[in-house]
Structure 1
Amino acid sequence: MDAEGSRCMRGGERAKKLAVLVAAQSLLVAVCLAITLYAYWDLHQLGSGDDVHIQFDAISEILANATLHFNHIRSRNMMNLADKCSNKISVNCTGPYVLYMDVCYKSLDREASGILRLGVVGRAAPLCTFNLEASLEACRGLHSITYLQAGQEAALDLRSTGRFKIKNVTVGLSYLLGSRCEY
């Protein structure tokens, strides 16, 4: 009986140790989960509000050789439209930017070709260009990295040969250094 009683005591001690170990492990998992949720919530609250960016709603019905006029701004931070004509973007931060677009276009002539250009207002040379090939109808995602200085105004132009039409375009411009705008 004593041997079995001792075995029962040791089994009870092992069960207590196992229960303490499981409780400690569960507590550690709960703490890790709480930290993860806190970090996620903190990042989610910041969202893209700290990023320097501007994003426009879709622009429709643009014919050849025109500057794109932005109808509405979907979201913005430290950028805005520079004029009442809604065709110039004003930037507050010097640095690299990503210009991205979704473009649906149509050539009305077989020989038509076009170029979408982002340029600084007052300068002849564009910062970046996108070629649009002749086709009955096409939709493409376009992007480029470009460099803008604080206080500059930029505009998007369509230059084309032949009859060329942009059916709609969504445009965004994001600062590559996130929320750092030191210049």
Structure 2
Amino acid sequence: MDRSRMDAEGARAVQPNRRISKLAVVVAVQNLLLVVCLLVTFYVYRDFQANKADFLTEISENIVHIQLSPIRPLSHNGTVNFTAITSSYLMDLKSNKRDISIKCTGFYIWLVQICCASRKETATGTGTATGTVQLKVTGSETPVSSFTLDVAKDDCRGLHSIIYLKKNQQASVNLVVQKEFQINKMSVEMNSLSGKKCDD
């Protein structure tokens, strides 16, 4: 009687030990799979970052485009002067640093990254400022595209529109200040929707 009771208790003691062993194996396998997944993700991400620069360079070389570097603060009416070209293909910035030379007819997407502010800002409060950024073709008074911005404090935003330009035209970016408006930073980009195709 005592012996059979001891055997039963021993069998019960072995059962939990087996369950703990199985559970430990399952946890170890899960941890191993997690480590493998993390390593694969790391190597894929590293390869993507290494190839991203080459991919972007290849795209920029094959699309008719121009990217103009950011301008310094500007708060008066007039044509915007750009410091330099960041990247271009079949487009150019004239020596006056204002006129963009169009060499291909077609539709373009005009992109503007702009940070602006109100110059009315004082210790007692702020005032709303209004300014309009225009893209104009030389010889035409009507803008090809324009963005009107109302700001009460520092504000950064991205703007875009689809425009149509002809070969041999020259375009410039103009600022019209209706109120105490100031551009702190602005970069401009134009990309042809026809890719590398250049129509006369």
8 Å contact from structure 2 (residues 115, 155) kept in 1: yes
Change in CA separation of 1:45 and 1:119 when aligned onto 2, cut-off 3 Å: closer
TM-score after normalising by structure 2: 0.67
Deviation at residue 162 of structure 1 after TM alignment:
2.3
8 Å contact from structure 1 (residues 64, 163) kept in 2: no
Gaps of 5+ in 2: 1-53, 121-126
88, 94, 97: which one aligns with 2:108: 97
116, 129, 134: which one aligns with 2:146: 129
8 Å contact from structure 1 (residues 101, 172) kept in 2: yes
Gaps of 5+ in 1: 1-41
Q: CA RMSD in A?
A: 1.9
72, 88, 99: which one aligns with 2:99: 88
Deviation at residue 131 of structure 1 after TM alignment:
0.9
**Which stretch of the first structure deviates more once superposed, 155-164 or 117-126?**
155-164
2:168 alignment partner in structure 1: 151
- Summarize deviations over 1:5-41 as a string: whole Å, max 9, x none: xxxxxxxxxxxxxxxxxxxxxxxxxxxxxxxxxxxxx
- Summarize deviations over 1:100-134 as a string: whole Å, max 9, x none: 01100011132431100001011000000101103
1:69 aligns with 2:81: yes
Question: How far apart, CA to CA, are the structure 2 residues paired with 1:45 and 1:64?
Answer: 36
Deviation at residue 153 of structure 1 after TM alignment:
0.2
SS of equivalent to 1:47? helix
Deviation at residue 44 of structure 1 after TM alignment:
7.1
Q: How does 1:32-47 map to 2 (within 5 A)?
A: 46-47=58-59
- Summarize deviations over 1:38-63 as a string: whole Å, max 9, x none: xxxx9777432121000011112111
What is the number of residues matched between the two proteins? Answer: 142
TM-score after normalising by structure 1: 0.72
Larger relative helix fraction: 2
8 Å contact from structure 2 (residues 76, 177) kept in 1: yes
**Which stretch of the first structure deviates more once superposed, 44-53 or 106-115?**
44-53
Q: How does 1:12-23 map to 2 (within 5 A)?
A: none
- Summarize deviations over 1:80-111 as a string: whole Å, max 9, x none: 012x2200100100010000011000111324
